[in-house]
């Protein structure tokens, strides 16, 4: 939804595209454009000036589904804009993209940011290094204007990779990451994008929501709002147990009406940047055994496709609320006709114990809301 504002100055300063009321005189945008001053005006008048008085409505960024493995959207950095495909990741907190200085194989196969092409770039001497479960980057920090979902964030700190070791990022359909977790886990104490959206008054509500579709298109992340046409019933609100990841307490994980994992409670994180549903090896081993899954040479766990209709729901009980996953959700049917388990063993150690990772296998079934104002996660069955 875009607001129709009577003042042309507000529309220009906040970068909104909308139909303004008809007037006899030219709009400020038209006048500045004719005089060649529009870009200079936009760079000197960031969106936060008007947003302080006219909060935005929700803004959505479409996400493309790559084989149910990654959900990728677009951000623009710099003036003029340089566009990058990024993974919108609730399991990390940093924005970073490849730098023109990076000569790693992964960088050569992706778009790279060139500071010399941006009039709003501001460099630093600070370094940054980030390790993920399957890849890493080393680089430096800089500031520039970032545009995402029609929201323009001024003076956003972000990372520029100089080295991207290994082969993982080479094969990825995205250039970098946009982390949506808390500042407390941000590398080099860099302020996350959504924190700047909040502090600059660019969202009308201090929350964002995510809908992941099993189809190639139709997924999105919405900043500042909730779209109730994408879920059924009411949202179930779950308090966070830690303001690091989007971490919640899981009461138990049941199958056939009895605990199959996490029998005495455990911690889980709602993570849009993880493809599967991951957990400690012992619990995942129990689940794979009950599914009749056998490990293949490539490390994945294969399931007899004929058994899918006989398998039960696996139920995650969170804050006393059951969140069932039917076999059609946790068994992945591949194009070659084979079927694999959507569960994977992974040890993510924290002071609270090893975490369960509620990744895309879980999120495709549940519309998710990430509420920074109240430090809660909202979940409802996705349509």
Residues 274, 153 share a domain = no
Is there a single domain that holds both residue 260 and residue 186? no
- Of the chain, the percentage scoring pLDDT greater than 90 comes to 75
**pTM for the full predicted model:** 0.84
Q: Residue 14 falls within a domain, yes or no?
A: no
Does 117 map to a domain?
A: yes
Q: Which pair of tokens denotes residue 260? A: 């199959």
pLDDT for the residue numbered 355: 94
Q: Are residues 69 and 215 in the same domain?
A: yes
Annotated catalytic residue 227: no
Q: Are residues 297 and 201 in the same domain?
A: no
Q: Do 163 and 188 fall into the same domain?
A: yes
Domain at 341, CATH number? 2.40.70.10
Whether residue 30 lies inside any domain: the answer is no
* Residue 138 or residue 348, greater confidence: 138
Residue 10 lies in a domain: no
Determine the pLDDT at residue 49: 38
Task: Looking at the structure, tell me whether residues 125 and 233 fall in a common domain.
Answer: no
| Options 68, 89, 175, 251, the catalytic residue | 89
Residue that finishes a domain, picked among 200, 223, 246: 223
pLDDT of 5 over the 60 cut: no
Q: Which tokens in the block code for residue 144?
A: 């520039």
pLDDT digits (tens, 9 = 90+) for 24-66: 333 344 445 556 554 554 444 443 333 333 344 689 999 999 9
Asked if residue 33 is part of any domain, the answer here is: no
Is residue 271 annotated as a catalytic residue, yes or no? Answer: yes
> What is the SS3 assignment for the chain?
CCCCCCCHHHHHHCCCCCCCCCCCCCCHHHHHHHCCCHHHHHHHCCCHHHHCCCCCCCEEEEEEEECCCEEEEEEEECCCCEEEEEEEECCCCCEEEEECCCCCHHHHCCCCECHHHCCCCEEEEEEEEEECCCCEEEEEEEEEEEEECCEEEEEEEEEEEEECCCCCHHHCCCCEEEECCCHHHCHHHCCCHHHHHHHCCCCCCCEEEEECCCCCCCEEEEECCCCHHHECCCCEEEECCEECCEEEEEEEEEECCEEEECCCCEEEEECCCCCCEEECHHHHHHHHHHHCCEECCCCCEEECHHHHHHCCCEEEEECCEEEEECHHHHEEECCCCCEEECEEECCCCCCCCCEEEECHHHHCCEEEEEECCCCEEEEEEEC
> Do 190 and 278 share a structural domain?
no
Task: Tell me which residue range forms the domain holding 149.
Answer: 59-223
Identified catalytic residue from 175, 251, 271, 360: 271
Residue 164 and residue 207 in one domain: yes
Within-domain flag for 7? no
The domain total for the chain is: 2
Look at residues 177, 207, 223 and tell me which one is the last residue of a structural domain: 223
Q: Is residue 253 part of a domain?
A: yes
* pLDDT tens column, 307-364: 899 999 999 999 999 999 999 999 998 888 899 999 999 988 777 778 999 999 999 9
Same domain, 216 and 254: no
Domain boundary among 193, 223, 253: 223
- The distance of Cα 366 from the centroid of its chain, to the nearest Å, equals 15
Does residue 43 sit within a domain?
A: no
CA atoms of 126 and 188, how far apart (whole Å): 8
Say yes or no: 148 and 189 in one domain: yes
Residues 217 and 233 in one domain: no
| 109 and 249 in a common domain | no
């Amino acid at each position: 939804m875009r607001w129709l504002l009577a003042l042309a100055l507000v529309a220009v300063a906040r970068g909104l595209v909308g139909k303004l009321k008809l007037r006899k005189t030219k709009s400020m945008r038209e006048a500045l454009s004719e005089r060649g001053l529009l870009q200079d005006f936009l760079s000197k008048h960031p969106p936060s000036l008007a947003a302080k008085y006219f909060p935005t409505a929700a803004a959505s960024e479409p996400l493309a589904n790559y084989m149910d493995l990654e959900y990728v959207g677009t951000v623009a950095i710099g003036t003029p804009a340089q566009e990058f495909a990024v993974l919108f990741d609730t399991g990390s907190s940093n924005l970073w993209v490849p730098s023109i200085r990076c000569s790693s194989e992964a960088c050569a196969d992706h778009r790279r940011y060139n500071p010399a092409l941006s009039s709003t770039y501001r460099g630093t001497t600070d370094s940054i290094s980030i390790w993920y479960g399957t890849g890493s980057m080393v680089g430096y920090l800089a500031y520039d204007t970032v545009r995402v979902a029609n929201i323009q964030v001024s003076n956003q700190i972000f990372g520029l990779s100089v080295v991207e070791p290994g082969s993982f990022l080479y094969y990825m359909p995205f250039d970098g990451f946009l982390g949506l977790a808390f500042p407390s886990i941000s590398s080099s104490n860099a302020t996350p994008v959504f924190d700047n959206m909040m502090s600059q008054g660019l969202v009308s509500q201090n929350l964002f929501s995510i809908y992941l579709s099993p189809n190639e298109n139709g997924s999105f992340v919405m900043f500042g709002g909730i779209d109730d046409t994408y879920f059924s019933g009411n949202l179930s609100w779950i308090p966070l147990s830690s303001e690091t990841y989007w971490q919640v307490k899981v009461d138990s994980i049941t199958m056939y009406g009895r605990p199959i994992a996490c029998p005495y409670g455990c911690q889980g994180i709602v993570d849009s940047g993880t493809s599967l549903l991951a957990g400690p090896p012992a619990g995942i081993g129990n689940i794979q055994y009950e599914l009749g899954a056998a490990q293949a040479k490539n490390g994945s766990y294969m399931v007899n496709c004929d058994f899918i209709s006989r398998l039960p729901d696996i139920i995650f009980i969170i804050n006393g609320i059951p969140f069932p996953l039917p076999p059609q959700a946790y068994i992945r049917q591949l194009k070659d006709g084979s079927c694999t388990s959507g569960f994977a063993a992974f040890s993510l150690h924290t002071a609270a114990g090893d975490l369960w990772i509620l990744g895309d296998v879980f999120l495709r079934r549940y519309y998710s809301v990430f509420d920074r104002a109240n430090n809660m996660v909202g979940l409802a069955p996705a349509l």
